[in-house]
Amino acid sequence: MPEGGVAAITVQATTIQESNKHMSNERPWLDHYPQGVPAEIDLNAYASVAAVLEESFQRFRDRPAFANFGRQLSYGQIDQLSRQFAGYLTGVLKLGKGDRVAIMMPNVLQYPIALFGALRAGLVVVNTNPMYTARELKHQLEDSGAKAIVVLDNFAATLQQVVGDTEVRHIVTTGIGDLLGFPKGALVNFVLKHVKKMVPAYQLPHAVRFRDALAQGSAHELPAVSLNHDDIAFLQYTGGTTGVAKGAMLSHGNMVANMLQAGAWIGTNMREGSEVIITALPLYHIFSLTANGLTFMRLGGLNWLITNPRDMPGFVKELKVSGFTALTGVNTLFNGLLNTPGFAELDFSRLHLTLGGGMAVQRAVAERWKKVTGCPLVEAYGLTETSPAACINPLDLRDYNGSIGLPVPSTDVEIWSEDNQPLPVGEVGELMVKGPQVMKGYWNRPDETAKVLGADGWLHTGDIAKMDANGYFYIVDRKKDMILVSGFNVYPNEVEDTVMQHPGVSEVAAVGMPDEHSGEVVKLFVVRKDPNLTEEALKQFCRDNLTGYKRPKYIEFRDALPKSNVGKILRRELRDENKASH
């Protein structure tokens, strides 16, 4: 949102509504936009993400920017520390514009410092899930060509296994407590390593500690880097519509567009410089990265970082002292909070935005959330490939409506038939998105890019949906075989390819099973090559080779799997059969 908070939308609300009406024949949703939300954003407001950061550092210098484990850093402190980190990357490591830097950390104070330092230096950030197995990490580092990585001690042992096979030449390590001050930080690191045994031993002899990198970087000026909308800001890895992880190239223009789109949507509901956004989803996830880490930075908000949201009692204690005004999450997070003792007794008087994305928000959860907190749980829809927001429900939504909302400003959404023709209102087809937030393509994969992104700019989401007469969109079905576990995409191809590497497996099919806790879980149907192969042995193999959310919860051994006349395993048949038996 432009300068000036609630009054910041420089065009008068009446003018906005009038201009919206001119376009509403093709975009019926414009007639139902919340008051004050424009049909279009001004893409030229910022040249880059770095320009947004510079503005925030100046405007909100003395305000708190990030909080974690009781320590707060102001916008001015984040400015200084990220400058130092940028100085280290460019002045000491001699990395140049466009070089890739991987960040492998959960939500800790080091994350925004490394993130903003890399972006201000003109580098490309490769967000890396800390829970990756060695196989998954190796693929991402090899594919991205990352030259440096910042990694939390807890996950450095995984990096040690594969770093020699990658182009990574510079490693920065850090502990959760490193920026929490003395003696608290030292105590946190000691307990994690020696009491809770959460830091496996590792050897990375040439690694530099994060604080040492900051000290070295302080001797170097922030480089003068010219950035524009076409420059890549992030390689954000996703399965897309097939199994192997691909790097979605999200440009500075893509990210600026989505910040402006989200900012315009929530702007009239926000108090600039006084918001406290709870950041429980990891910042390496595109939803949290854009919605929390960047959009609220632009509004001068305080990002309250939750390092381990799975510790629900601890999470509720954090909420109690935070003075939170906004919260984003996935359905399972909201459900988990509602079922945690003490949550219903919190003070919700300041809470005025709850945004759900990453997976479908369930009606029962949304209705209970509103009843307990008094704040509606507003569903949004997006993809890694759209930076991510494409549709959001109005914030003044009274009740759950089952919709993913209305397209955000400067965005076109259509429903297409199988032969790529737009369908009329109410017809079911593929959800298509076009707008300035749509990625440039997949990194070094023009063939995969061509499958989903046309020359005309329309992105195939692979999601099956319909639109009503008011321009609200509804997801009818998801990508045919994708499994959605707690907001994370699990692609059967990847799981099956991994499981097939076990010498005792002849055939395998992976499907999603409904699950109260995580929405869906993975179930494997396996034909054994080795008759002595046990369920536990196969689960152990999966633990060694797949991130937690991709691992099967159920395994069923069979003599044969259903196949089409060309020999393709029919996952849908297995899924339907499985549902019928439960």
CB-CB contact of 243 with 492 (8 Å): yes
How large a percentage of the chain has pLDDT more than 70?
93
Among 167, 66, 51, smallest CA distance to 119 is for 51
268 pLDDT tier (thresholds 50, 70, 90): confident
Confidence bin at 331 (pLDDT 50/70/90): confident
> What pLDDT, on a 0 to 100 scale, did the predictor assign at position 200?
97
Residue with tokens 């799975």: 310
- Measure the CA–CA gap between 483 and 350, rounded to whole angstroms: 36
Q: 490-580 domain in CATH 2.60.40.10?
A: no
Q: How many CA atoms lie within 13 A of 467 on its CB side?
A: 23
Average pLDDT over residues 512-521: 92
* Burial class for 12, CB neighbours closer than 10 Å (0-12, 13-18, 19+): exposed
Does 482 score more than 90 pLDDT? no
Q: Name the band, by pLDDT with cuts 50, 70 and 90, for residue 113.
A: very high
Q: Report the interhelical angle of 49-59 vs 75-87 (nearest 10°).
A: 140
The conformation of residue 360, written as its DSSP 8-state character, comes to P
Question: Could you tell me the pTM of the whole model?
Answer: 0.85
Angle between helical axes of 210-217 and 75-87 (0-180°, round to 10): 80
| pLDDT range class, residue 427, cuts 50, 70, 90 | very high
Q: How many CB atoms lie within 10 A of CB 412?
A: 14
Other CB atoms within 10 Å distance of the CB of residue 576: 12
Query: CATH 3.30.300.30 region(s) of the chain?
Result: 490-580
What does the pLDDT read at residue 244? 77
Which residues are bridge partners to 74 per DSSP? Answer: 64
Residue 15 predicted with pLDDT over 50 = no
Task: Report the interhelical angle of 49-59 vs 110-120 (nearest 10°).
Answer: 120
Query: What pLDDT, on the 0 to 100 scale, is given for residue 14?
Result: 41
Separation of alpha carbons 190 and 184, rounded Å: 10
Q: Do 388 and 396 meet the contact criterion of CB atoms below 8 Å apart?
A: no
Give yes or no for a contact between 497 and 505, defined as CB atoms under 8 angstroms apart: no
- Segment 404-421 shows an average pLDDT of 96
For residue 53, name the pLDDT band (cuts at 50, 70, 90): very high
Which one, of 439, 326, 429, 424, lies nearest residue 382 by Cα?
439
- CATH 3.40.50.980 region(s) of the chain? 72-236
pLDDT value, residue 5: 33
- Mean predicted confidence (pLDDT) in 160-183: 97
Q: Residue 488: beta bridge partners?
A: 485
pLDDT level of residue 565 (50, 70, 90 thresholds):
low
Rg (CA), the chain: 23
Q: Does residue 388 have a cis bond before it (omega within 30 degrees)?
A: yes
Question: Facing residues of 396 across strands?
Answer: none
Q: What is the pLDDT of residue 150?
A: 98
Q: Where are the beta strands (DSSP E) in 214-273?
A: 232-238, 246-251
Mean pLDDT, range 257-277, rounded to an integer: 95
Confidence of residue 444 (pLDDT cuts 50, 70, 90): very high
Instruction: Pick the range with the lowest mean pLDDT from 143-147, 192-196, 239-243, 381-385.
Output: 239-243
Q: Which helix (H) or strand (E) holds 109?
A: none
Interval 296-318: pLDDT, tens: 999 999 999 999 998 999 999 99
CATH number belonging to domain 72-236: 3.40.50.980
By residue count, the chain amounts to 582
Q: Give the pLDDT of residue 454.
A: 95
**Which pLDDT does position 361 carry in this prediction?**
82
Q: Is residue 60 within 8 Å of residue 52, measured between CB atoms?
A: no
44: which 2 tokens?
A: 């030229």
User: What is the residue whose two structure tokens read 């974690």?
Assistant: 68
- Whether 240 shows a pLDDT value over 80: the answer reads no
Integer Cα distance of 380 and 98 in angstroms: 31
Percent of the chain with pLDDT over 90: 80
- At residue 428, the pLDDT reads 87
- Distance, CA of 513 to CA of 459 (rounded, Å): 28
Tell me the pLDDT of the chain averaged across its residues: 92
Report yes or no: 270 and 299 within 8 Å, Cβ to Cβ. Answer: yes
* pLDDT(24) > 80: no
DSSP string, 279-323: E-S-TTSHHHIIIIIIHHHHTT-EEEE-S-TT-HHHHHHHHHHHT
Beta carbons of 150 and 103 less than 8 angstroms apart: yes
Mean pLDDT for 30-51 is 97
Over range 431-450, report the average pLDDT. 97
Amino acid identity, residue 83?
Answer: R
- 130-144, 232-246, 326-340: the lowest-pLDDT one: 232-246
Average pLDDT over residues 423-432: 94
> 501 pLDDT band (50/70/90 cuts)?
confident
In Å, how far are 101, 256, 443 from 96, measured between CA atoms? Answer: 11, 22, 19
Which of 28-32, 383-387, 423-427, 512-516 shows the lowest per-residue confidence on average (mean pLDDT)? 512-516
End-to-end CA distance of the chain: 49
Nearest to 346 by CA among 326, 374, 316: 316
